[in-house]
């Protein structure tokens, strides 16, 4: 599991989605750092290892990234609407996004 986690993080570095930070970080800066951890689910055949980014974790100054972001409205459609619409047609398709 540790090897899979290291490979996952290395891929983030490879695509410049992640960068190392210095140990001495200015608490007054407007930058936020999101901690991450492994979530291992051995019964999953497609993604037994997931990495969770915790934007609700509070930094040393007591502020989290989630707490300062604007909380907008819901952008997803209502589940009942989706199910009702899917019963209108003869065929329905479903997909799974591997990585976002």
d(Cα 33, Cα 26) in Å, to the nearest integer?
12
Find where tokens 């001495």 sit.
24
pLDDT tens profile 82-93: 888 888 888 888
Looking at residue 54, its pLDDT comes to 92
d(Cα 54, Cα 52) in Å, to the nearest integer?
6
Give me 62's structure tokens.
């007591």
Query: Is the model more confident about 96 or about 36?
Result: 36
Looking at residue 75, its pLDDT comes to 74
At residue 100, does pLDDT exceed 70? no
**pTM tops 0.85:** no
CB-CB neighbours of 48 under 10 Å? 13
d(Cα 63, Cα 69) in Å, to the nearest integer?
11
Confidence of residue 99 (pLDDT cuts 50, 70, 90): low
pLDDT tens profile 12-67: 889 888 888 777 766 667 777 788 888 888 888 777 888 889 999 988 778 888 88
């Amino acid at each position: 599991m540790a090897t899979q986690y290291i490979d996952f993080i290395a891929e983030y570095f490879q695509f410049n989605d992640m960068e190392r930070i210095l140990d001495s970080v200015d608490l007054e800066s407007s930058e936020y750092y999101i901690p991450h951890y492994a979530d291992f689910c051995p019964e999953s055949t497609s993604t037994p290892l997931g990495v969770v980014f915790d934007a609700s974790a509070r930094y040393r100054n007591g502020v989290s990234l989630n707490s300062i972001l604007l909380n907008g409205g819901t952008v997803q459609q209502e589940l009942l609407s989706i199910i009702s619409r899917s019963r209108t047609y003869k065929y329905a398709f479903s997909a799974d996004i591997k990585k976002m």
